[in-house]
Structure 1
Amino acid sequence: LHAFEHPAISSGDSFTVFDTPWGVKVGILICWDNNLVENVRATALLGADILLAPHQTGGTHSRSPHGMKPISVALWEQRESRKEEITAAFRGANGREWLLRWLPARAHDNGLFILFSNGVGADDDEVRTGNAMILDPYGRIIDETCAAADAMVCASLDLSLMAMSTGRRWIHGRRPELYHILTERQGYERDAITARFSEEVPERGDKPGE
């Protein structure tokens, strides 16, 4: 929905939620789409019980002073002899810790399971951190891996957790008539590439001309 990787990649214009043989609905949001909170809420409102969240992230050149920072490619190449160092890096501020700042909130606030997958290893001049994890509707981690290698996590999902989860109950208290601002342009919107990579941050609040 918010493609930024290359000008030749166009953004989608609709959400994907589908039925499964198990009586639950599954939604898909790719990578950065999950970082815009409106996308996860919209997917939940379309009935998703489980969110598939494939990523290619971690150890990236974040422009935020307190965002992710790169992990040394040399460390990845020497991962067999420096296992403690690379595991610490993958679990640290540029990997797992960064994910835990926001990913559990997506599950908790919307009362859905999240299946987070991610690339691992060298990606040009950056190192992706893996950190695959499965979260329940309370934002709790059911299973995860911090391995500096290809790895898979598996879990049985207790679907009975959804009904009384905080996000699923509180979503019924929504007042949509108050949220029109979410669909109004504020004047500082940018295309995904500019929003991701520009060094300039426009001020929020006043619209142009005000």
Structure 2
Amino acid sequence: MSSLRTALLQGPAGVPGSVTESLDALDGAARRAAAEGARLLATAEMYLTGYAIGDQVAALAEPADGPSAHRVAEIAARHGLAIAYGYPERDGDAVYNAVRLVGPDGAPLADYRKTHLFGDFERAAFTPGDTPVVQATLDGVRVGLLICYDVEFPETVRAHALAGTELLVVPTALMRPYEFVPHTLVPARAYESQLHVAYVNRSGAEGEFHFTGLSCLAGPDGVVRARAGTGEELLVADADLALIAAVRADTPYLADRRPELYRSLG
């Protein structure tokens, strides 16, 4: 496949704290995305429950294969597209900030737990994940997963590039005043590691936070192919796979690396 049409669902869409309403909104978004030819629909961080929900995080957390996972699988299969969605995952006593990728047939493809927790709220609510690179193949495209703060570390994105990720999907809950992240940092990450980055943010006010929106699909040449505004929006754009090889031939960052010089950096 020469490109992967990707839909980015920005905003709460549902109502924070109401998993049922979030799932209903996801169903509608999947229908619209499929009608525009998307093969992948990605949501924001903690999409199912909302981000700023305080003590409800633990109460609403579900196992990776819990009831909400089955509903998302049904939505994906009904509309014939893959879905990457953020949610709080419960595994025993631990709760993780997680994203699951399900295929267009509803089968689970990958599960990722956020490895870099941001701020006091996240460190109190979640256990950090310990697997830096999680990938799956969708329509012949190597899709990788990170969550929000993870993408702000160059090491995480470079690890994906070295592992063969072509499209890096990043569910996000970025709040003001950090607008420079989607404007500047995300395109830089895409360029320096020469892959596509689908950065899918929340929008609007929630609790003490005001999310920036500005979701984007940034290409391996650092060019933003599509950019959302600050409100709720379904953004659809193509990740051109041929562009990766062209950019890497023109500016061979990965080939010109000298890893023997970097080992002391830890």
- Whether contact under 8 Å (1:31, 1:56) holds in the other structure is yes
Structure of higher CA gyration radius: 1
Distance 1:176 1:117 in 2: 31
Offset at 1:101?
A: 2.5
Amino acid at match of 2:188: A
Distance 1:21 1:57 in 2: 27
Question: CA, structure 1 residues 171+128, in 2 after alignment: closer, same or farther (shift >3 Å)?
Answer: same
Question: Which has the larger share of strand?
Answer: 2
1:7 alignment partner in structure 2: 124
TM-score, normalised via structure 2 length: 0.52
Give the counterpart of 2:193 among 86, 89, 110.
110
Is 1:162 aligned with 2:244? yes
Superposed CA deviations along residues 6-34 of structure 1, whole A, max 9, x for unmatched, are: 32411111123323242221111111111
Identity percentage over the alignment?
A: 33
Amino acid at match of 1:49: E
Question: CA, structure 1 residues 8+157, in 2 after alignment: closer, same or farther (shift >3 Å)?
Answer: closer
Distance 1:2 1:157 in 2: 26
Distance 2:207 2:215 in 1: 20
- Give every structure 1 segment of 4 or more consecutive aligned residues whose post-TM-superposition deviation is greater than 6 Å: none
Distance 1:19 1:98 in 2: 26
1:84 alignment partner in structure 2: none
Q: Helix, strand or coil for the counterpart of 2:143? A: strand
Unaligned runs of 5+ in 2: 1-114
1:86 alignment partner in structure 2: none
Distance 1:43 1:158 in 2: 17
- Whether contact under 8 Å (2:217, 2:224) holds in the other structure is yes
Number of residue pairs the alignment of both structures matches: 148
Is 1:33 aligned with 2:150? yes
TM-score, normalised via structure 1 length: 0.65
Higher relative contact order (CA 8 A, sep 6+): 2
- Whether contact under 8 Å (1:17, 1:47) holds in the other structure is no
Question: CA, structure 1 residues 157+11, in 2 after alignment: closer, same or farther (shift >3 Å)?
Answer: same
Distance 1:21 1:42 in 2: 19
Offset at 1:168?
A: 6.9
- Whether contact under 8 Å (2:182, 2:216) holds in the other structure is no
Unaligned runs of 5+ in 1: 60-67, 69-93, 184-210
Distance 1:13 1:98 in 2: 24
Distance 2:167 2:138 in 1: 13
- Whether contact under 8 Å (1:116, 1:133) holds in the other structure is yes
Out of 109-118 and 156-165, give the one that drifted further: 156-165
- Whether contact under 8 Å (2:213, 2:228) holds in the other structure is yes
